[in-house]
């Protein structure tokens, strides 16, 4: 299950927006993905995320769409302004 706060954190990582200790508050398997994203340069984060989704076999699945909806709903932009 993806929690809105986890989605918000991932969106901020993908958009190269600042985090202040939020990675430590994440839950479940997404925490390791977020840690990985945080360690790579910002321009490599979206491609890394896309590959992870593709490799998971869930690309296009309803829960991936739900995750994206949660991300949008909590207001973290895809791209920095």
Pair 70, 2: CB distance under 8 Å: yes
81 belongs to a structural domain? no
80 belongs to a structural domain? no
What's the domain count of the chain? 1
The Cα–Cα gap between 73 and 68 comes to: 9
Report the 10 Å Cβ neighbour count for 38.
Answer: 13
64 belongs to a structural domain? yes
What is the domain extent for residue 27?
4-73
Q: Is the pTM of this model over 0.75?
A: no
63 belongs to a structural domain? yes
pLDDT in tens, 42-51: 999 988 888 8
Report the candidate in 26, 28, 41, 37 with the shortest Cα–Cα distance to residue 1.
28
pLDDT in tens, 12-61: 898 899 988 889 988 777 888 899 999 999 999 988 888 887 776 655 55
């Amino acid at each position: 299950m993806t929690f809105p706060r986890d989605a918000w954190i991932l969106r901020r990582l993908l958009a190269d927006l600042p985090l202040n200790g939020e990675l430590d508050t994440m839950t479940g398997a997404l925490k390791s993905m977020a840690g990985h994203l945080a360690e790579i340069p910002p321009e490599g984060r979206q491609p890394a995320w896309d590959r992870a989704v593709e490799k998971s076999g869930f690309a296009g699945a309803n829960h991936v769409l739900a995750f994206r909806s949660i991300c949008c709903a909590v207001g973290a932009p895809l791209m920095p302004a």
